[in-house]
Amino acid sequence: MPARPVAGAIREESMSKKLLGMAIAAIITTTAASANEQRIAFPKDYASDFKNYLSLDRVQNPDQIIRLFANDRALSAAKEDGVLPSGSILVGEIYAAKKDAQGNIITSSLGRRIKDKLLAVAVMEKRTGWGSAFSEELKNGDWDFAIFSPDGKRLNKDLNSCRGCHAPLKDTQHIFSLEHLTK
């Protein structure tokens, strides 16, 4: 008879270990899913509904140009107190720079790159609590990122490169162009 309680205890301990393992796996999966979920939708009317507040040569990409747009919520808050609230959306149209037959970038008489083909549409959106899904080195306040093709299809890109690039910009709310929004 004593064998029965021992066997039952072993089964119970084994079951507890399995449940603990399943709980840990669920936490890890939930955290990973939160960081990778597709919570940003393509803002299809951004070109008409948002304001184009800046166009420039991309510093980090010597063969690209970017046009930046912001929704009314971001623009009005930037002008009011400079703090962008939840619901702020920024869009960047990323263009290839025009090149000559030898592959050299063509610049205007002002020394600026000339835009060619629209390559992608990058979106930054801020929502309360979104930052909790990321580790400190990838946290951008409550901003998250998405990249779409010009026709609005989600591109399978590593968004951690976007997160990692913007994360150090704590003094400017993780935005490279904050001072341009406030004008």
What is the DSSP secondary structure assignment for residue 138, as one 8-state letter? G
Structure confidence at residue 182 as a pLDDT band (50, 70, 90): confident
Q: How confident is the model at residue 2 (pLDDT cuts 50, 70, 90)?
A: low
> Which CA distances in Å does 122 have to 18, 69, 84, 94?
42, 10, 18, 7
Q: In Å, what is the CA distance from 146 to each residue of 19, 60, 114, 130, 159?
A: 35, 18, 25, 13, 7
DSSP state of 10: H
DSSP 98: P
Pairing of strands 64-70, 51-57: antiparallel
The encoded tokens of residue 61 equal: 């990409």
Q: What is the pLDDT of residue 113?
A: 97
Q: Which is nearest to 49 in space by CA: 73, 84, 65, 80?
A: 73
Closest CA to 116 of 67, 182, 168, 44: 67
Cut 0.85: pTM above it: no
For the segment 69-117, what is each residue's pLDDT rounded down to a tens digit?
Answer: 999 999 999 999 999 999 999 999 999 999 999 999 999 999 999 999 9
pLDDT above 70 (res 128): yes
User: Hey, which residues does 115 pair with through a beta bridge?
Assistant: 97
Work out the average pLDDT over 126-146. Answer: 95
Check residue 27 and give its pLDDT.
39
Residue 138 Cα to chain centre, angstroms: 10
What is the edge-to-edge ordering of all strands in the sheet holding 51-57?
Answer: 51-57, 64-70, 89-97, 115-126, 143-148
Query: How many Cα atoms occupy the beta-carbon half-sphere of 6 within 13 Å?
Result: 3
Tell me the per-residue pLDDT of 6-60, one tens digit each, with 9 for 90 and over: 555 455 554 444 444 443 444 333 334 344 568 999 999 999 999 999 999 998 8
User: For residue 163, how many C-alpha atoms fall within 13 Å in the half-sphere facing its CB?
Assistant: 23
